[in-house]
Amino acid sequence: MRRKALLVAIVVVGSLTVPLSATAAIDEVNTTKLRQAVTVSGILQHERALQRIANRNDGTRAAGTPGYDASAAYVKEQLTKAGYKVTEQPFEFEFYQEVTPASLSQVSPAPQDYDTATFTYSGSGDVVGGIVAATNTVVPATPTPSSAAGCAATDFVPASATEPQVALIQRGTCTFASKAANAIAAGYDAVIIFNEGNPGRTDLVEGTLGATVSVPVVGLSYADGAALYASAQAGSTTVAVSTEVIAETRTTVNIIADTRKGNKEKVIVVGAHLDSVLAGPGINDNGSGTATILETAIQMSKLNIQPRQQVRFAFWGGEELGLLGSENYVATASDADLAKIYANLNFDMLASPNYVRFVYDGDGSADPGAPAGPPGSAQIEAVFTQYFAAQGLVTEPTAFDGRSDYGPFIAAGIPAGGLFSGAEGLKTPEEAVAYGGTAGVAYDACYHQACDSITNLNTKAINELGDAAVHAIMSLARSQAGFFEDGSRMAPRSTQSVPDTVFDYKGSSLVR
């Protein structure tokens, strides 16, 4: 029993000591030496290497491309030189790439071109056919989301067996994949999904279907979709839809590096996704997380740090296509191996230009409707918040919303936590006062774009969030005490239940 350690636990931060609450249950760990060794300059060396790789490979490091393969080779080489046991975990996935932008136009009764976008995993094709709307479309839109259009097979009149027809479906309540699948099963030759029309759901909708479908699937704004719906209700309306994509099975890899020391029965998985989107080099998303944990691993080796728990540095592939690498890792691990993992730390975007210091909300206290992480997640959150508080830096909680690689871990009941500097969301006036930067501007205006390059990094964010990442990794690796009241590191399996909302870890706004 480590009652004394639980009651007097402290974290040493530089020359500062910060008392932790009894629930934090992580004992005294001095992380100064490692934090001083992991520098902004060292992190940027890896970022520049990733940028050079993208430059040589059509500006991308996306999974399934030569740019990703070169990125994986670079990380593997660096870790091998540092003395780690490095393995590759290959897995197959459905590669998708848009070859030419989608087009959508009304042919009759009045010719008109629409602003559209191909859904990820759409099929290729050129279809000219009549519009048929899902039977439960809600136009005009209600003030709050309410459309279940296309969520049931009965929402579609069976398509013509002789003439091409295009299904028109309103966004809402179920996944894009379900809507498209129901329309395709009803015999439609193409699918248009238009936005729902509620506040925040009016612009051109883009999303993913999760797996390749056989027909073109494109998006529309609410205004254009509603106009097309009105035209179809008034009489015969014909549209032309065109998409051209590559959709095929390819192989990519996770890179896994284990410390040679540390208790192999108590493993900390420290993860960051290595892939970018096809549109750009991904130097913030997620070169910043990749470079930070890579430099941390290298400096741990150089300083000959001996962790009490084994640390497993994981560089995930295919995150941008649906958390594929981390999902594969958890799905293929045995129950015995999963039982050895007592924490997952996730670092996905640490250098956003208009950044905020977001900490994953392990205890679910920030929002009454937000899910908490599995037991132990609250204590991981406290490691970060106590560290920042000791530095005089404010933080803000961010929910486990399923948008990064912690998702499969929390679904398996494994405690998780991490940091996030912000993506496409807009900085609030209150956040601008607290963190600096510009209110009303995205945390990262280059999120998922070609401009997410080496010039898209905030070195102040790298310094602050990078130090906090190092502190948490070192604290969990060296701590003798555990997360819980008796000093243990894992909750009894019978109590490791997670609310159903946590299991739906792919439930981001991108798929509904």
Residues belonging to the active site:
319
Q: How far apart are CA 183 and CA 167, in angstroms?
A: 6
Give me the torsion for CA of 313, 315, 320, 326, rounded to 10°. Answer: -60
Question: What DSSP string describes 47-109?
Answer: HHHHHHHHHTTTT--BTTSHHHHHHHHHHHHHHHHTT-EEEEEEEEEEEEEEEEEEEEEEEES
Query: 124-152 burial, b for 16+ CB within 10 Å, e for fewer?
Result: bbebbbbbbbbebbbbebeeebebbbbbe
Query: 459-486 burial, b for 16+ CB within 10 Å, e for fewer?
Result: eebbebbbbbbbbbbbbbbbbebbbbee
* Residue 152 phi, psi dihedral angles, 5° rounding: -125, 150
Q: How far apart are CA 86 and CA 11, in angstroms?
A: 31
3-state secondary structure of 132: strand
Q: How far apart are CA 343 and CA 311, in angstroms?
A: 10
| Alpha carbon distance, N-terminus to C-terminus of the chain | 47
CA 323 remoteness from chain centre = 7
Instruction: Output the CA angle 250-285-48, nearest 5 degrees.
Output: 95
